């Protein structure tokens, strides 16, 4: 059972790191599938040194402290709900994704983002696979499991 649960964190970490490994091979100017007057959709490498949603401090030790506190709280929730798979699996996916981003910060000095999406003057922040996994897992918990929490 424990290895089944660990799988979800490793899955999130490996799929995110694999996507970032592959994206490092694209040209610096990016690859755009759609680039019109109205839409821009594609991949472009961007090293994000901010925290989630461009929050954070200019002092790296404060950012690192916030990351460690967040990981501690997440691990606490995983321990609390370890027997409830429908709650703990999304938490483990969030953990693996967060660890992948932490690994980027330690190796690259920031998180490698690459997915570009914009419509007219509305520019969505550049994101990566771990961002999708974190937001999707969190949305699942909010929408489907908030009564269990």
CA atoms within 13 A of residue 2's CA, in its CB half-sphere: 1
CB of 54 within 8 A of CB of 63?
no
**What is the 3-state secondary structure of 79-146?**
HHCCCCHHHHHHHHHHHHHHHHHHHHHHHHCCEEEEEEEEECCEECCCECHHHHHHHHHHHHHHHHCC
The answer to whether residue 38 is catalytic is no
The answer to whether residue 131 is catalytic is yes
Indicate which residues carry an active-site annotation: 113, 131
């Amino acid at each position: 059972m424990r290895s089944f649960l660990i799988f979800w964190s490793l899955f999130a970490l490996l799929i995110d790191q694999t996507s970032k490994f592959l994206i490092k091979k694209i040209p610096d100017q990016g690859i755009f599938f759609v680039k019109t007057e109205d839409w821009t959709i594609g991949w472009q490498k961007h090293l994000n040194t901010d925290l989630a949603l461009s929050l954070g401090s200019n002092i790296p030790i404060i950012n690192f402290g916030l990351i460690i506190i967040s990981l501690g709280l997440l691990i606490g929730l995983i321990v609390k709900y370890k027997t409830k798979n429908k709650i703990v699996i999304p938490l483990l996916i969030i953990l693996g994704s967060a660890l992948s981003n932490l690994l980027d910060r330690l190796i690259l000095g920031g998180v490698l983002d690459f997915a570009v999406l914009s419509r007219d003057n509305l520019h969505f922040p550049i994101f990566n696979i771990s961002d999708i996994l974190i937001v999707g897992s969190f949305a699942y918990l909010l929408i489907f499991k908030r009564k269990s929490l």
